[in-house]
Structure formats: structure tokens, C-alpha cells
Amino acid sequence: MRHLLGIEGWRREEIETLLDRAEAHLPGGPASTSVLQGKVVANLFFEDSTRTRTSFEMAAKTLGAQVLNWTAQGSSVSKGETLLDTVRNIEATGPVALVIRHRSSGAPHLVAQHVRCAVINAGDGTHEHPSQALLDAFTLRKHWGRLDGRTVLIVGDILHSRVARSNILCLGALGARVMVCGPPTLLPVGLKELGAEVTTNLDAALPQADAVMCLRLQLERQTESFFPSTREFSRLFGLTAARAERMKPGALVMHPGPINRGVELAPAVADGARSVILEQVANGVAVRRAILEVCS
Amino acid sequence: MSAQVLFSRGRVIDPRNGVDGVRDVLVRDGKVAEVSEAPLQVAGAQVVDARGRWVLPGFIDMHVHLREPGEEGKETILTGCRAAVAGGFTAVVAMPNTKLVNDSALVTELVLSRARAARLCRVYPAGAITKGLKGEELAEMGELISAGCVCVTDDGRPVMNASLMRRALQYSTLFDIPVMVHEEDLTLSGKGAMTEGPTATRLGLLPIPPSAEIVMVARDLVLLEETGARLHLAHISCEGSVRLVREAKKRGLRVTAEAAPHHFTLDDTAVGQYDTHAKMNPPLRLRRDVEALREALADGTIDAIATDHAPHGVLDKRVEFEKGINGVVGLETALGLALALVHEGVFSPLKAVELLTVGPARAFGLPGGHLAPGAPADVTIVDPDAEWAVDAERFFSKSRNTPFNGRLLKGRVTQTWVGGGLVFADGQIKESR
């Protein structure tokens, strides 16, 4: 048993082993489909999610597990039950793993200190989203073979993005050069220490990238004046069709979803030849099967 | 009564009176009677053999939260006083942000009467600046002062309204008492959970920029200059604040400042993996801020070490980091952490004692803080060589919320005397004196 609380603390070999396992879990692959036969995996989603929850659910079910789907809505959380009380009650039903999505950074770490089963972070606040980074790395690996020497440019709201943090660490660990780009208000200090190069000039960075990952812009950040308008954001930091033209030949476009079409990513680019967005989703199940197998 | 105690042959460190050497200290009727280089022979006096020990003026902590009335599950005046004397403090200033806010003589009198009943250390209440700490209207400062408050503060919260703060300072000149401020611009700190820096970014915690503190320090120094009042800056934590205070002092403004042991000991990396015991307000800052505080303590820019002793229950801390309540207990670890800076060569033992005694006494105009004849016989005896590991389970405080559990410290309080009476000795509280 081991936890997946974040990419932080995972070494390159461990990540590569996990991605190798994910290969075996692709449809028609050699991995066993009964490793979790008779076991229960609990999905604890304190925050809304479509793609991550269904992806983990499919992964668990196709490994033979029963899935307990718990959501904060309609639970005792609204009665003021604490996170640890909620989680311990669910743990008492005997799951082999808790898959947790929570709005507070570090919530899975807190849980992991107080339960005996595996804790898998399915996204915590503005901290990490490790399964997303692993499936992104997996997707890139399928295209490139290796990430060494490749440049991945992550664009948008880095400050509030758990996808960005996990990807900086994961892609960096696998040998890629990671650049991040966004308005200064959405670039936290200390990104260099995490291993990223920082720029505010998308047009200068774009031609260097072998892949561009656009992040979802949460529209409520506008009311907090992190940027003046989605219009201006899009003008400065959106991946428009014109910008996509200037990318390297063969460079890829990624997005963790859900997309604000026309804000961070133009519809034509999201659906265009460079886009691997749906591959990301498809690979997600195989990667999460590998995560459940390795952690449980 | 003519109880006499003779502290014999200890190293007396009394910064106010320029004493650092082996002395005998004779105490009579609750006051210091004589300090002598030559050994004294006093018939009938109880002799305390202080060889190898430091004999110090009792420590004064100008910033503690005793939680009573209202949150007696975290601390009471009695348990807080026990923690104080165990840490060598003979006087504490009790913050007004109790659940019944100390914004009236009624609450001030309650605090004073509970403190008298505890019979351990001196407790000086601080009154609120604004009614209910709401930052809207001035509390009755005159009534609070005449009931026994030694300063006013909305500690835990800033006075965000600059005009109200200006009036509070103006009005305070009627009584010539310090206005103590928690400097935080709430629009800058926002929903932040820890200081801006690499650790916040790594942990994905929303950042609190240092400017949240510094702009308020700047604002209040401007208001201070205009009003001619006395300003005391609680728990300053940033290099930028230190710079402003240094400059203001140079220009002769009546400003004093304190720093807390956690801020001059730990930096943001102590948060580790979401350790809520390292969560407080102001937050732990960056290493360069820690260094700036140390320098400011050494050069006199900061007047006092104050613990901001803030007891909280286990459940307040065993939650998501963002939800974790701010604060750490500090009374029982303050001396060891101050002496750690002596051992690191940041300042002398004389300076350490100054920051714990005459520094706070002067800032708040309190009696004590020194050992000249006539001074209150508040004495703290320290074994400077005792090495010990912090064990929160053994705290006299009701609460255990410390980031220093397990830390090795050198230098420990062996006895605490208040008004000539023994209140703490060899790990035991002496309650029925």
C-alpha cells in the first residue's frame, strides 16, 4: 500500500514504473482485470468533478472493485461534520483506497495521517492533482517516447492551478523543460524552486514549446481583479488560431478540461490537429488503473 | 510581616541597572532590599543558594491570551498563570479578545479578580480599542484605564478604518497609554493561509504578502507622528516593518515593538506538509525576515520579546490547513528560544534579559523588570546550562499547540518568585503560599 498525495516525493523511476504499468492497462493490454476483485474503492468528492470521478470509477470497476461513490452534497458535511470524522466513518466500511477530491490544499495529507488505507489525491485545492499530471505525462510519452529535452509550456492561472503544480513536478522529473506563462498576478513566487521557468510573454515562448498546456481560467478570478476581463486575458494569454499557427510543427495542444472555449483556448485549436485533449481523457482510465493497482 | 529571602551568589543580570556579575540579592516584604557584591549575612533570612544560576528580574510578557472569560476549555487565567510562572514570567498582559471582549470595566475587573485568586503572577489587562473589537466605535478608554488596563488593543484584528485609528491615537494621549496594534491590511491578507514564498507555492496555499503587515505599520507611524501618541507594534514579523520602525525611532517617534519567539526562530519552511502548529497570524515569514528580526532585537529596534501565547484545542488544529486556527502557545518555551539566540551569538545574555524584562516594562510603563532596591521582588532563577527537550504533554498551559514539541533547548527556569513569594520551583507550581 502507498499513498498518492502528490507528485512531490515521487522519484523518476517510480513515476516511470507507474507509467509502464499504465501501458499494460490500455484497452486490450495484458494487465489483469481482477486485481481489486472483492475490494471496495471509495470515491470521496468534497468538490464537484465529472471527469476525474468517472475516470477513477471506471478504473476501479474495470479492475473488479466495488465503488462507493460519496459526495459532499447531501452528506453530514452540511451538518458540520469534520473532514476526519467523515473520512473515518467511510474508512470503517473497509475500502482499500480512498480517492479524495477536496477544496482545501493538503486535505488528503491530513486524511492520510489518520487512516490505514491508501489515500489517492484526486485534486486538493490549489495544491496538486497528481493523477492528471501522470496522465498528461503518459499522453506525451505516447507521442514522444521520452520527455527528455522536450519543452512543455503551461499557460494561464498558475497561482490557483493544482494541475500546473503537479505537472511542473512530474514533467520536470521525467526530464522535460517546463515553462509557465501567465499574467504576473497569477504567477506565484517560488515557481523556479519548483523547477519551472517563468515568462509573461506568450508569443515569445510559444515557438519554443513541443507542447502547450492551456489551463482552465476560473471566471470568478476576474471579479477579484487578477485580470481585467476574459476578453483581455484571451488577447494576451489565449491560445488563438493565429498563435497556434506559430507553434512548432508537430507541437501538441493539451487541456485538463473543462474548457472555456474562446477564452484560454480557441475552439478551432481545441478540436484541431494538434489537440490531444480527448487522448488525455482516454489515457486517464489506464493511468488511474495503474495508480489503483500500485497504491492499493 | 518581614519575610526575608537572600538569593546568594548567583549571577545577577539586571540590564536596567547595568549589573551583570555575581551578587547577593536580599528581598524583604515583597521588595528588593539590597543588592551586594560582597556576600551578605542576614539573620532569619531564607537563603536560596544561587551558585551557578542566573538571578534575573522576573520576565514580563506583554502579549498573552488567557482565554477567560469565554474559552475556558483552551486556557483559564489560573492555567495561563501557571504556564507563565513555569516559563519564568512574573507579569503578563492579557489580551482583550476573549469571548466576552474586554471592552468594559466589568470584564477588566473580572480578569483582575480571577488573577488575584490565582495568586501566581501579575496580570495586567489590556482593554479593547473598539467596542466588541468590531473596528467601528471607540470603547470607553477612560473607564478601561481606571479599571486597571495598561494599554488598549484590538489584537487579533487590525483597526482597518484609518480615521478611527487616528482618533484612537489622539484620544489615547489623554491617558498617555500605548495603543497596541496588530498590523494587517485585511484586503491584502485576504484568504491567504501562509506567507508568500516558495513554501506557499509548493503547498498551493494562498499567500499573505508581507505588505499586508508593512503598509499598516507605515500608516500607523504616519498617524503616530501626527497625533503624538504612543504606539506599540505587536508581533512584527517582516524585514520591511523592522526598517520602518528603525527609521521612526531615529526620528524620535514614540513607537515600541515586540517580536515573538516563533517569528525569530522559524521560517515558512516549518509549515512542512501542512503542519497547522506552524500556523499563526502574522504567519511565519521567510528566512531573511527571521534574520532581520534577530538583527532588530540585537540593535534595539525591537524592544521586547513577547510570546503571543495563544492556546487552542487539539480539534482547532486537527483540520485542513486553511481551516486551522491561528496561534501557538509560547510562555513555557520563550526563555529557551531566546537563549538559543544567545548560544548562536546573535546577542548577549544581558540583551536577552533586557528583552524579557526592562524592555517590556518600559514600553508599557509597568513596575518591575529590574532589581534595584525598592523594585518588586519578582525574581526568576535560571539554570543556564540545563538542556531539556520540549514536551507539550507536560505544559502547565491547558493547550498543547506548539511547533516546538521535541525541540532541544538549553537554559531553563528553576524558580520563579513574585512579590517575594515562591510560585514555581523545580518543575512544581507553588499555589498555596
Is residue A76 very low, low, confident or very high in pLDDT (cuts 50, 70, 90)? confident
Q: Are B32 and B375 in contact (CB under 8 A)?
A: yes
What residues of A are in contact with residue B199 (Cβ under 8 Å)?
A: 190
pLDDT exceeding 90 applies to what percent of chain A? 91
Check whether B218 has a pLDDT greater than 60: yes
Residues in A 152-211 with any Cβ partner in B closer than 8 A: 162, 165, 188-191, 193-194
Mean pLDDT value of segment B299-320: 97
Could you tell me the CA-to-CA distances from A233 to A180, A244, A268, B161, B285 in Å, in that order? 15, 16, 18, 34, 32
Check whether B423 has a pLDDT greater than 60: yes
Give A80→chain B minimum CA distance, Å.
13
* Beta strand segments in A146-230, E: 151-155, 177-181, 196-199, 211-214
Do residue B321 and residue A162 have CB atoms under 8 angstroms apart? no
How far is the C-alpha of A21 from the C-alpha of A290, rounded, in Å? 6
pLDDT exceeding 70 applies to what percent of chain B? 99
Angle at A83 between CA A129 and CA A57, to 5 degrees: 45
| Radius of gyration of chain B, Cα coordinates, nearest whole angstrom | 21
Check whether A1 has a pLDDT greater than 70: yes
pLDDT for the residue A79: 78
**What is the biggest distance separating any 2 CA atoms in chain A, rounded to whole angstroms?**
55
> Residue B321 is nearest to which of A82, A104, A194, comparing CB atoms?
A104
Mean pLDDT value of segment A197-213: 98
pLDDT digits (tens, 9 = 90+) for A110-149: 999 999 999 999 999 999 999 999 999 999 999 999 999 9
A126, closest residue in chain B (CA to CA): B204
B287 reaches A (C-beta below 8 A): no
How far is the C-alpha of A167 from the C-alpha of A128, rounded, in Å? 9
How far is the C-alpha of B122 from the C-alpha of B85, rounded, in Å? 10
Q: What value of ipTM does the predicted structure carry? A: 0.93
Check whether A33 has a pLDDT greater than 90: no
How far is the C-alpha of A263 from the C-alpha of A247, rounded, in Å? 18
Mean pLDDT value of segment B392-402: 98
B274, closest residue in chain A (CA to CA): A106
Mean pLDDT value of segment B260-283: 98
pLDDT digits (tens, 9 = 90+) for A234-251: 999 999 999 999 999 999
Burial of B31 (0-12, 13-18, 19+ CB in 10 A): middle
Is residue A172 very low, low, confident or very high in pLDDT (cuts 50, 70, 90)? very high
Mean pLDDT value of segment B404-411: 98
Mean pLDDT (chain B) is 97
CA A34 to chain centre: 26
Of how many residues is chain B composed? 433
B323, closest residue in chain A (CA to CA): A104
**Which of B187, B274, B325 best probes binding to A when mutated, by most A CB atoms within 10 angstroms?**
B274
pLDDT for the residue B355: 98
B433 reaches A (C-beta below 8 A): no
pLDDT for the residue A291: 98
How far is the C-alpha of B24 from the C-alpha of B427, rounded, in Å? 24
pLDDT for the residue A77: 76
A281 reaches B (C-beta below 8 A): no
Contacts of A56 (CB under 8 A, 6+ apart): A41, A43, A99, A120, A122, A131, A288, A292
CA B267 to chain centre: 19
How far is the C-alpha of A2 from the C-alpha of A11, rounded, in Å? 14
Indicate the angle between helix axes B239-250 and B287-299, nearest 10 degrees: 20
Mean pLDDT value of segment A170-185: 98
Is residue A75 very low, low, confident or very high in pLDDT (cuts 50, 70, 90)? confident
Identify the CA nearest to B257 among candidates B290, B303, B316: B303
What residues of B are in contact with residue A83 (Cβ under 8 Å)?
A: 319-320
Segment (H or E) for B194: strand B194-195
Identify the CA nearest to B62 among candidates B193, B318, B313, B233: B233
Pairing of strands B19-28, B4-14: antiparallel
pLDDT for the residue A32: 85
Do residue A193 and residue B198 have CB atoms under 8 angstroms apart? yes
How far is the C-alpha of B312 from the C-alpha of B397, rounded, in Å? 10
Q: Are B179 and B167 in contact (CB under 8 A)?
A: no
pLDDT for the residue B432: 63
Is residue B2 very low, low, confident or very high in pLDDT (cuts 50, 70, 90)? low
List, as one string, the DSSP characters of B287-352.
Answer: HHHHHHHHHHHHHTSS-EE---B----HHHHSS-GGGSPP-B--TTTHHHHHHHHHHTTSS-HHHH
pLDDT for the residue B1: 44
